[in-house]
Amino acid sequence: MDKSSGDEIWEDSFDKLLDPRPQQSNLNIIKKNVRLSYNIDTSVENSSHSIKGCSPKSCNRSVSISTPNYNHLGKDLFNCGLSPINRLQLDGFEDTTEKCNADKDAEPNTKKRGLIVPSKNQIDTFSKFSNQTNKVACASNQSNKIVGVVLKPGKWRKSLNIFRQTQISVLNESKKLESRNSVCQDRKSIFLNGLNKQNVISQQDFYKYCNQGKPLKFNAAYSQYKMLKTHKIGEGAYGEVFRYTPNRKGCKNDLVLKIIPIEGSIEVNGEKQKNFSQIWPEIIITKKLSSIQGFANIEKVSTVKGKYPQHFVKLWKRYDDEKGSENDHPGLFGENQLFVVLELHFAGSDMSNVIFLNSEQSFYALQQIILTLAVGEEDYQFEHRDLHWGNILIKSTTKKHICFKFNNTDLIVDSKGVNITIIDYTLSRITIDECCYFNDLSNDEELFQASGDYQFDIYRMMRNELKNNWSLYSPKTNILWLSYIIAKLMDSVKYKSINSKVHRLHINKLKELQSIILTFESAAHCARHIFNL
C-alpha cells in the first residue's frame, strides 16, 4: 500500500478540520414543510462547491449528467451530483407520463432519458406548500398527474414524504382527484424463513429479545443522571439520535441513542409508526453486523414507554433552534407511547460533512468501505441497498491500521487517520439462519422516478439488477453503490489539500477504480482484485 504521507500530519488536521464545522458535522438534513431550514442540506451545499481536486476531464462533465439543468428549476433548487456513467442530452428534459421502465431507466448508457422537471407553476405551488424549493421539487405534467420527483440527495425518505404531501396538496387544489387520508406508505420490511413464509413478531418475543418482561419507563431508563454531555446529533425519518457520554466507569466510547416510536396510531414525521414486526429486521441486522468491523456497533436494544422525557425535549428544541429540525416535536407523544431505543457506539460524522485531508485519506477510507461490504456479503449475503454518503460515518482515529477478516485472511488496511462505519440498514437485504430479511421496494414507484443526483440512478439500476425481486441476493447492488461512492469521492467530498502530488495520485487511483468498478460482481470480488487474493 502506498504510504506517501506521514500519519501525524493528517491526524491532527482532520480533527481540527472537524471542529470548526460542528453544525455541519452533526447534521442530518431535510427540513419539513413548515419553515425554511437552517440545517442546510450539506449534500446540496457540498455540490455547489467547486471541487478542485477533481479534474474536469476525470469527471467527464461534457457528456455525462443525470440531473436536471437547474436553470430550468430556478437557481436555488439545488445543484446536483453528476452521474459518471449516464449520458443525457441537456436539451432532452421532457415530461413523460410513461410508467418508469426498469430496464430502460437502469441502462448505464441510455442515449436519452426522459428526465422530469417541474414547470415553474408546479414549483411555485410546491414552494407555497413546502416553503423549501431548494430541497425538493415535485414534477407533474399539464394535467397535474404526478410523474416524477426531484429529491434532495442523501437522505431521501423525508423528501419523498414532502413530495407525497405536496402531491396531495396539488391534487386537492385542482380538485382533479380525491384526496387520500394518509401520505404514508405502509413500511414493507419483510423477513422470510426457509419456507418463504412471512413472519410476525409478538410484543412478548420482542421484550424477551431486549431482556425485558415489559417496557421500561422512558424517564427512568434514560434519566438525565446516567448521561453526560448529551446532545442531539441527528435525525431520521423514523426517530431522533442523541449522543452522550455514559456516566459509568470503564465506558470508553461515547454512545448514541436512536429513539424510534413504534406501534402508535399517530403519524410521526410523515410516516406511520412501525410495529414490532416491522422494526424487527433493522434490529436483527444491526445486531448481526455489529460484530463486523465497519458496521455500526450496537450495545443494547430496549423498549421504553411514556412521554418523551423533558431533558430530551430540551435538547430537541436546542437542535431545532440552532440547526432546524425537520421532525415533529417530541411533545406530541403521550403516556402510552412505546419506543424502541438502540444504543450504538458513536461513529462520527457523515461523509457529506467531513473534510478529508486529501484523496489518499479518502482512498483508504474507500478500502475500508469495500472490505466492510465484502465481509458482510461473505458472512450474511448482505446488500446495503441505500449506501448514499449520508449513511457512511467517518471518525478520526489514532489507530494506524484497521483489521478485517476476509476470505479466511487477516487483512490490514492503513487507517490514514479515519475509521468508517456504515449505518442505516432500512433497505438492506441479509440472510441470517436461512431467513432472508429485505425491504420490498417493488411498488415504490416514486423512488424509482426520482432524480437529483447519481444516487437516484442507483435505485433504478438496482431494480434492474434484481428484476424487481427484492428478496434475491445480488451483491452487484453493493458494486453499484461503490460506483456512486467513488464518484462522490472524486467529485463532491471536501478536501483540505488538493495541490499535492499525493492527492493527484490518489484521484487517479479513484479514477482507475471507477473505470472498472462495474465489471465486478460483488464487493468481495472487488476486494479480491484490490488485495490480490
Ligand X SMILES: Nc1ncnc2c1ncn2[C@@H]1O[C@H](COP(=O)(O)OP(=O)(O)OP(=O)(O)O)[C@@H](O)[C@H]1O
Q: Which positions are catalytic? A: 386
Binding test (CB under 6 A) with ligand X, winner from 256, 315, 466, 487: 256
Cβ density class 71-109: b for 16+ within 10 Å, e for less: eebbeebbbbbbbbbbbbeeeebebeeeebebeebbbbe
The sign of the torsion formed by the CA atoms of 21, 350, 157, 263 equals: negative
Cα(131)–Cα(32) distance, integer angstroms: 9
Least distance to ligand X, CB of residue 270, Å:
11
User: In angstroms, rounded to a whole number, what is the distance separating the alpha carbons of residues 72 and 94?
Assistant: 11
Q: Is 39 in the site for ligand X (CB under 6 A)?
A: no
Nearer to ligand X, 125 or 419 (CB): 419
Using the contact rule CB under 6 A, the part of the chain among 199-207, 238-246, 365-373, 477-485 near ligand X is 238-246
Instruction: Collect contacts of 207-212 with beta carbons under 8 A, ≥24 apart.
Output: 207/303, 209/283, 209/301, 210/301, 210/302, 210/303, 212/302, 212/303
Regarding 404 and contact with ligand X (CB under 6 A), the answer is no
Residues between 278 and 297 with contacts to ligand X, criterion CB under 6 A: 296
Establish if 238 lies at the interface with ligand X (CB under 6 A): yes
**Is residue 258 marked as binding?**
yes
**In this chain, which of 5, 24, 25, 28 binds ligand X, going by CB under 6 A?**
28
State the binding string over 416-435 for ligand X (x if CB under 6 A, else -): -------xx-x---------
Whichever of 61 and 399 has its CB closer to ligand X, that residue is: 399
Radius of gyration of the chain (CA): 22
| Contact with ligand X (CB under 6 A) among 155, 385, 429, 476 | 155
Q: Which of residues 107 and 320 has its CB atom nearest to ligand X in the complex?
A: 320
Residue with cell 448514541: 256
Size of site (CB under 6 A) for ligand X: 23
**Smaller CB separation from ligand X, 357 or 394:** 394
How far is it, in rounded angstroms, from Cα 445 to Cα 307?
36
163 counts as binding ligand X under rule CB under 6 A: no
Residue 312 CA to residue 327 CA, distance in Å, equals 14
CA distance 463 to 466: 5
**Distance of alpha carbon 492 from its chain centroid, rounded?**
16
Contacts of ligand X in 381-400 (CB under 6 A): 390, 393
Q: How far, rounded to the nearest angstrom, does the alpha carbon of residue 183 sit from its chain's CA centroid? A: 21
Q: Which is nearer to ligand X, 153 or 236 (CB)?
A: 236
Per CB under 6 A, which region of 228-236, 319-327, 367-375, 474-482 contacts ligand X? 228-236
Paired with 418 in beta bridges are 396
Half-sphere exposure of 275 (CA within 13 A, CB side): 11
Residue whose C-beta lies closest to ligand X:
236
Distance CA 313, CA 241 (A): 12
Residue bearing cell 490490514: 412
Q: Is 233 in the site for ligand X (CB under 6 A)?
A: yes
Shortest distance in whole angstroms from residue 29 CB to ligand X: 8
Binding mask 311-350 for ligand X (x = CB under 6 A): ---------------------------------x-xx--x
Contact footprint for ligand X (CB under 6 A): 28, 155, 157, 233-239, 241, 256, 258, 296, 344, 346-347, 350, 390, 393, 423-424, 426
Annotated binding site for ATP: 258
